[in-house]
Each structure stands twice: as C-alpha cells, then as structure tokens.
Amino acid sequence: MRILAVRMVKLGESRTIVGEFIRKDRKTVGKWVKDYDEYGIDGLIPRL
C-alpha cells in the first residue's frame, strides 16, 4: 500500500486525495513520500 501511495503522489495526485483513497491521513502519506525520497524503497519497510 505504501508504494502505491508514493507512486500516486509522484504521478501528481495530492496527498489528501491519496490518503482518502487508501484511508490513511495525508500526513502519513507525506511521511511515506519523505521516507522514500530519503531512503528509497527500503524507506517504505514498516519500522517495528
């Protein structure tokens, strides 16, 4: 789900719309995008 959200944002969709689509807060989506930008695909692995 995280990679889908990042992909949608990278294709131009807003974080708000993506969040509504996947039922997550826009801030969560923004964090995923930031993590992806900083660490690549490894940044999307959930931290325990």
Can you give the residue ranges of every domain in the chain?
Answer: 2-44
- Please state, rounded to an integer, the average pLDDT across all residues of the chain: 96
Give this prediction's pTM: 0.91
CB 5 within 8 A of CB 18: yes
- Identify the pLDDT of residue 48: 81
**42 exposed, middle or buried (CB, 10 Å; 0-12, 13-18, 19+)?**
exposed
**33 exposed, middle or buried (CB, 10 Å; 0-12, 13-18, 19+)?**
buried
The number of residues making up the chain comes to 48
- Classify each residue of 8-32 as buried b or exposed e, where b means 16 or more C-beta atoms within 10 Å of its C-beta: bbeeeeebeebbeeeebeeeebbeb
**pLDDT level of residue 1 (50, 70, 90 thresholds):** very high
Whether 47 has a pLDDT exceeding 90, the answer reads: no
